[in-house]
Structure 1
Amino acid sequence: MSTYGGYTRPSYGATGGEDGGGFVYGGSQGGSQAAGKGYIDETLRPVTIKQLIDAEQPYPDANFRIDGVEVTQVTLVGMVRAISPQTTNVTFRLDDGTGIIEVKQWLDADKHDDEAAKSAFALDQYVRVWGRLKSFNNKRHVGAHVIKPVADFNEVNYHLLESTYVHLFFSKGGDPTTAGGGGGGGGDDSMFVDGGYGAAGNGPNLNGASAKARKMFNFLQTAENGNEGVNIHAIAQGTGMTVPEAMNAAEELIQPGLIYTTVDDETFAILAY
């Protein structure tokens, strides 16, 4: 376990790096800093892809900063949109609903399981990545230490909630559960919103959402099923949509974390703000 002040981070069961870099300083990003830093300076922060895209880098080769806080290692969850096997690495394009970023998993010529690594994941499969944010030729990517498939979709929702928790901890100060207290976080949670729609500090932002997604969201807002959620068939009937239309609307709302599945994959509820 590691902590961010009052926030305690679970370990996720990840093991050390498999790419030769592991969880230590080294390589193009941290080589110049290796002498002055040790394991005690290492952190692992859950993030969205938009946070990685917007992260600040004070000068070349410096560690990136998110919410004004230096980050070394990050973990993210996203859907595999493209796979590009190379001689020395496999490049994945990951999409988490807030943005798209490349993730590079370097191959070890001395290991015999690299061919399996090249085909370990499928398109449109959710994966969790542990690694470092890097920049090469002014283009950002994540150098992956570990990539594992997501077996339970609840992990996707959990990751968004955990990323939000840490973001609020640093941007608003103190305990994120005491909304509005302290800090200088501002009104919108830009870790989600990227010219589209996502979670906002004072409630959901549906800008860019389709008419059917808005209709479904509004229906769920007035539903009386509470935390148990509403089944997709009841949603379709209540909104005048077909079940496939309702499922498409649900997928559109799930991506930015506006709704989540509850008792099964066909029952949905609004994420509380």
Structure 2
Amino acid sequence: MWNQDFNQSGFSQVQGGGFSTPQGDEKKKSKRSNNIVPVTVAQILTAKHEDDAFMSGNQELSQVTLLGLIKSVNESPTRIDYVIDDMTGPPLDVRRFNDTDENEEAETQTQNVYAPNTYVRVNGLLRAFGGKRTVNAFKISPVTDMNELTCHMLEVIHASASGQQQHAQPIKSSSMGSNSMDMVEQIAGLSPLQMQVQTIIRSDHSEQGCSVDDICQQLRSVAPKAIRETIEFLSSEGHIYSTIDDEHFQATDA
């Protein structure tokens, strides 16, 4: 479909000698930039920014997709600002500009505003302004199945590993980056909720560890009983351990 549209516009035809190579390079760059890359917030914040391009390892990040929990929402006449947290790094600012028709009622416009503590998938363009990185979203949709969190992390691992293998030396072609291996170990055998709870506990570096109340506060959409059952499972499997009392935990691999 993209190739058909491109050919109809006439830009894919070589108009004269000497210009075929630059046009080919631009076409490849356009095709690469149009790929939607599954990412985490940590990858966005640590990607190298050079020549108007974001590079995470061997991947160019332009159009990205990520999953996370809405921490806050700020509405204005022209856009909606979200703060999204996927537990891999500091929360990320996501902007959704209003593109509704002037005749559309305000009541209809507010239907696309998602409340805090809602898990969402964000598709958008990675941008940087004043040293701060944001995602300008062209689509935000709620996550209705928590298994989508696990699937997304697997997609992130696959995309990262594929990029590394394509650019690796032959002797290292079968190797996978340490970050990808860490994510594999984090996901293996755990449900989406178990993975989320373990990630929250792992991110707490205090001496007393993460409290059950803190976990419940961050996962308000999950019943406290389910969270406690998850903590009990993680503890029995050796992923976490209690510290000062039965209400505080640390990750064994922290």
Structure 1 residue 168 corresponds to structure 2 residue 158: no
Q: Deviations over 1:121-174 (max 9, x none)?
A: 111110001111001111110000100000001101111111112112223x16
Structure 1 residue aligned with 2:94: 103
Residue 48 (structure 2) aligns with: 56
CA contact (8 A) 1:44 1:75 kept: yes
| Cross-structure match for 1:270 | none
Unpaired stretches in structure 2, ≥5 consecutive residues: 3-25, 188-197, 213-228
Q: How does 1:250-261 map to 2 (within 5 A)?
A: none
Within a 5 Å distance, the mapping from 1:36-115 to structure 2 comes to 36-37=26-27, 40-41=31-32, 42-59=34-51, 62-99=52-89, 100-108=91-99, 110-111=101-102, 112=104, 115=107
Q: Is 1:157 aligned to residue 150 of structure 2?
A: yes
Does the 8 A contact of 1:48 with 1:191 survive in 2? Answer: no
* Kept after mapping to 1: 8 A contact 2:126/2:134: yes
Match 1:144 to one of 137, 146, 155: 137
Identify, as 1 or 2, the structure richer in helix: 2
The alpha carbon displacement at 1:75 in A equals: 0.4
Q: How many residues align?
A: 183
Report the alpha carbon displacement of residue 108 of structure 1 after superposing the two structures with TM. Answer: 2.2
Task: Look up the match of 1:223.
Answer: none
CA RMSD of aligned residues (A): 4.3
Check whether the contact 2:48–2:55 (CA below 8 A) recurs between aligned residues: yes
**What are structure 1's unaligned runs of at least 5 residues?**
3-35, 175-179, 193-197, 214-230, 259-273
SS of equivalent to 1:64: strand
CA distance in 2: counterparts of 1:187 and 1:236, whole angstroms: 23
Q: TM-score, normalised by structure 1?
A: 0.54
Distance 1:154 1:106, change over 3 A: same
**Could you say which structure has the larger radius of gyration?**
2
- Identity fraction in percent: 25
TM-score (norm 2): 0.57
What is the CA–CA distance in structure 2 between the aligned matches of 1:207 and 1:124, rounded to whole Å?
19
Query: What residue is the counterpart of 1:31 in the other structure?
Result: none
Q: Secondary structure at the match of 1:156?
A: helix
* 4+ long deviations beyond 4 Å: 36-39, 113-119, 183-186, 189-192, 204-209, 231-234, 236-241
Q: Within 5 A, what are the aligned runs for 1:182-261?
A: 182=173, 186-189=177-180, 208=204, 210=209, 232=230, 235=233, 238=236
Change (3 A) 1:191 1:139: farther
* Residue number in structure 2 paired with 1:131: 124
Going from structure 1 to structure 2, the CA distance change for 1:154 and 1:93 (only over 3 Å counts) comes to same
